[in-house]
Amino acid sequence: MNRLVVVSNRVPLPSAGARAGGLAVALDGLMEKRGGLWFGWSGRIAANVAGGQPALSGIEQAAGIDYATIDLTQDEHDRYYNNFSNGVLWPLLHTMPELMKFDRRDAKVYREVNYRLAVSLQPLLRPSDVIWVHDYHLMPLAAALRERGVKNPIGFFLHIPFAAPDVLAAAPEVAALVRDLLAADLLGFQTDNDVANFAAAAQSLAGATRLSGQALQFGGRRVKLGVFPVEIEAQKFAMMAGRNAFGTTGERLRRSLDGQKLILGVDRLDPTKGLLQRLDGLECLFEKHPDWIRRATVLQIAAESRKDVGSYQQLRAALDAKAGSMNADLGEPDWQPLRMVSRNVDRAEVAGYMRLAAVGLVTPLRDGMNLVAKEFVAAQEPDDPGVLVLSRFAGAARQLDAALLVNPHDPDAMADAIDTALRMDLADRRARWRSLWDAIADRTPALWGRSFLASLMRASQPVVNKPAKPAEAAPTSPPRLTLVEPTAAVGGRRG
């Protein structure tokens, strides 16, 4: 089997603790099954990069996976990760350009870090490796590798949405990034809307030509596009939820509810997750439907993330203020509507809480997929399931259309949907849950990866590169590769 080389900004090193985030969750599931090399940032800040040289900061090995990482300097971390990746590309690609803060010095360092990653990765590559690059931090990486003579098949997957060209045009760097992406053989997205937006941007901003089917022509090469919705290990998550609902933390939460219904939100604290709008909807619920006072409690777990980015700091302050005023305005001496937790809660613990919840609130303003929505479905007890209230602007809404779909900008609609969910009779809850479960039960991250990689092998073609300097050239140019795919676990239905 050809070795898989996954490249992502964040690498979940076994030696480091777990972190909230969809990318690590999806790729962990794939790498666990398949093994390979996982390359990216160590999560550490180095005082400086010795003599400007791109040294690897560490290599670790665990369960068939080699992890190779580089450190970032403080300036790189600020400009590449905080300012450009999370301060420009994240809001822009989520169609929230008003949150973007563009500075061309940040764009320059973003590019330099991508080149440094390419230089560090190249000596680790074997001729038969298949390279899979992930997410918006690494948009120039495929082009940087190609420039250095790397001819291996390269796929790129974007975990977040891709915005319409009009929106993208707000950032001066974006046309160049779209051109860079076209150095890959296959570009994967979460939904067909993202594919359509990318194809339009590639034509209008980069001058690519649309070929029939899901393909573009650029610089004499054919680049394939595809939709590959990210999946979770639903069967495993279901078992974890079952175990943890009755563990210490689950029991403690249940006792503290004292018979009240639990309304649960689990998110990274992020402007795209619609947390302020969610609190507006919840406030509206208790005002419009006061019979839920003392009969329902909201638990919002909002793990702090990207604390150095201004818009995240502002959101944290606004959320704290809003949560405080909501509890003060609606609370009673013996009851508070909202419990807020901003630390990173253990995933197994979260699974148990999901199983105890009567309603799962997943209401992002925009989201590439949103794995929490799928996890909430997986966590439910089939005979007595909770109800998912889901934003129609999450990629997951395409697969989970049996949820109560809401517009997160409309507090009344959200309040009414939560009220409906809390009152829904058992037969309706079971029927909805069954159809949600059917949408996720037989899919796994391993199958997701397998389908992407199979498509990448079909798409890869001999690349006509600029001749590489001899020292930089890949050892040999691999012929078209045949991928021997692993046997992925396909689970049956639960219940």
Residues recognised as catalytic: 159, 367
DSSP-H helix ranges across 289-337: 310-330
Near ligand F6P in 158-187, by CB under 6 A: 159-160
In whole angstroms, the minimum distance from the beta carbon of 20 to ligand F6P comes to 6
In angstroms, the CA 264 to CA 353 distance is 8
Contacted entry of ligand F6P, ligand ADP, none for residue 78, CB cut-off 5 to 8 Å set by kind: none
In angstroms, the CA 304 to CA 297 distance is 22
Cβ-based burial of 357 (10 A; exposed 0-12, middle 13-18, buried ≥19)? buried
Beta bridge partners of 10: 41
Contacted entry of ligand F6P, ligand ADP, none for residue 306, CB cut-off 5 to 8 Å set by kind: ligand F6P
In whole angstroms, the minimum distance from the beta carbon of 24 to ligand ADP comes to 8
Give the contact letters, 215-254, x = binds to ligand ADP (CB under 6 A), - = no. Answer: ----------------------------------------
Cβ pair 348, 252 in contact under 8 A: no
In whole angstroms, the minimum distance from the beta carbon of 23 to ligand F6P comes to 3
One-character DSSP codes across 103-161: -HHHHHHHHHHHHHHHHHHGGG--TT-EEEEESGGGTTHHHHHHHTT--S-EEEE-SS-
**Which of residues 10, 33, 148, 443 is near ligand F6P by CB under 6 A?**
10
Q: Look at the alpha carbons of 144, 147, 152, 156 in this order and tell me if their dihedral is positive or negative.
A: positive
Tell whether residue 344 is a contact of ligand F6P (CB under 6 A).
Answer: no
Tell whether residue 96 is a contact of ligand ADP (CB under 6 A).
Answer: no
**Which of residues 21, 54, 127, 331 is near ligand F6P by CB under 6 A?**
21
**Which of residues 34, 116, 224, 306 is near ligand F6P by CB under 6 A?**
306
**Which of residues 4, 5, 6, 23 is near ligand F6P by CB under 6 A?**
23
Segment (H or E) for 70: strand 65-73
In angstroms, the CA 316 to CA 417 distance is 26
**Which of residues 4, 6, 22, 299 is near ligand F6P by CB under 6 A?**
22
In angstroms, the CA 335 to CA 248 distance is 23
- Output DSSP code: residue 219: T
Tell whether residue 121 is a contact of ligand ADP (CB under 6 A).
Answer: no
- Output DSSP code: residue 23: H
**Which of residues 113, 118, 266, 421 is near ligand ADP by CB under 6 A?**
266
**Which of residues 151, 268, 306, 355 is near ligand ADP by CB under 6 A?**
268
Near ligand F6P in 96-135, by CB under 6 A: 135
Q: Which stretch binds ligand F6P (CB under 6 A): 15-23, 214-222, 233-241, 332-340?
A: 15-23
Tell whether residue 24 is a contact of ligand F6P (CB under 6 A).
Answer: yes
**Which of residues 163, 263, 279, 303 is near ligand ADP by CB under 6 A?**
303
Tell whether residue 133 is a contact of ligand ADP (CB under 6 A).
Answer: no
- Three-state DSSP at 326 gives helix
CA angle 91, 165, 139 (to 5 degrees): 60
Kindly determine how many residues on this chain lie close enough to bind ligand ADP according to the rule CB under 6 A: 18
**Contact residues for 153 (Cβ-Cβ < 8 A; gap 6+):** 130, 131, 185, 186, 456, 457, 459, 460, 478, 481
End-to-end CA distance of the chain: 36
Amino acid identity, residue 269?
L
In angstroms, the CA 314 to CA 297 distance is 26
Residues of this chain that interact with ligand ADP (CB under 6 A) are: 20-22, 25, 266-268, 301, 303, 344-345, 347, 350, 369-372, 375
Residues of this chain that interact with ligand F6P (CB under 6 A) are: 10, 19, 21-24, 135, 159-160, 305-306
